Structure 1
Amino acid sequence: MELLIVILIGVLYASGIFMLLRRSMVKLLIGLILLGNGANLLIFLLGRITKGKPPVIDDISPIFTDIYADPIPQALILTAIVITFGLQAFAIVLLKRVYVLINSDDLDDLNTPEEEDI
């Protein structure tokens, strides 16, 4: 199970970085989304998937090992999801505004000076 998640994290990171290197602003946004999802899965994997082994409590201690799980990865993933959602919403609005002004989503069109339009 963990090997499958590790492969999935690698695929998400690789495809996210590949999409970030494209010229289109829509593909840039998709790359950010893929990187955010890969980071969430990485935090989930580092928090241990096995049941009954919370990393906060020592393994030798017999108290509370069956009842509690580690809340830190869950809180980190929830926070990352909220931050990623806010970033995506801002990027979508910014992308729409740039597309209305330039009529293109190519990043090279943003580098042209305004004097060439005259």
Structure 2
Amino acid sequence: MMHFNYIIAMLLITLGLYCLVLKRNLIKLIIGLAILTDGIHMFLISLGYRMEGIAAIVTDEMTSVPSNFAARAVDPVPQALVLTSIVINVCILALALSLSIYAYRYYGTLELEKIRRFKE
């Protein structure tokens, strides 16, 4: 059975790459970066998903049947990595938006080609 979350994650990654490669507006580039990272986050969370999984918290009940616990426990590492990545992504997007506001005030445009012409 095909998992739809992988398909949606790949569509988000493709859409984000499309925006990064073909768009020339700073705001559209920043939105494309956000979409790309959201697709990567969705893909990583999908990799760590386990059907009918339980939290990886060891209690006294779990130590009596360790094989059952190991078969049902969800790996917390992808979730922790994605959470850290989300925090870093918010900081990067905030910095990129503030730089684009500064570029608009200085150059009067958000188009990369016009900004490059002003630079020369």
Q: When the two structures are superposed, what TM-score results if normalisation uses the length of structure 1?
A: 0.80
Secondary structure of 2:42 counterpart:
helix
- CA drift at 1:44: 0.4
Structure 2, unaligned runs of 5 or more = 56-65
> In structure 1, what is the equivalent of residue 10 of structure 2?
10
Alignment of 1:84-99 (within 5 A): 84-99=89-104
Using the alignment, how far apart are the partners of 2:96 and 2:88 within structure 1?
12
What amino acid is aligned across from residue 39 of structure 1 in structure 2?
A: I
Number of aligned residue pairs: 110
What amino acid is aligned across from residue 77 of structure 2 in structure 1?
A: I
RMSD: 2.5
Contact 2:20 2:32 in 1 (8 A): yes
> In structure 2, what is the equivalent of residue 19 of structure 1?
19
Q: When the two structures are superposed, what TM-score results if normalisation uses the length of structure 2?
A: 0.79
Deviation by residue 1:59-89 (Cα, 9 ceiling, x = unmatched) = xx52534774321011011011001101000
Contact 2:19 2:32 in 1 (8 A): yes
> In structure 2, what is the equivalent of residue 50 of structure 1?
51
What amino acid is aligned across from residue 17 of structure 2 in structure 1?
A: I
Tell me which protein shows more helix as a share of its residues: 2
Using the alignment, how far apart are the partners of 2:3 and 2:71 within structure 1?
25
Using the alignment, how far apart are the partners of 1:109 and 1:6 within structure 2?
38
Contact 2:109 2:115 in 1 (8 A): no
Structure 1, unaligned runs of 5 or more = 55-60
Using the alignment, how far apart are the partners of 1:85 and 1:34 within structure 2?
12
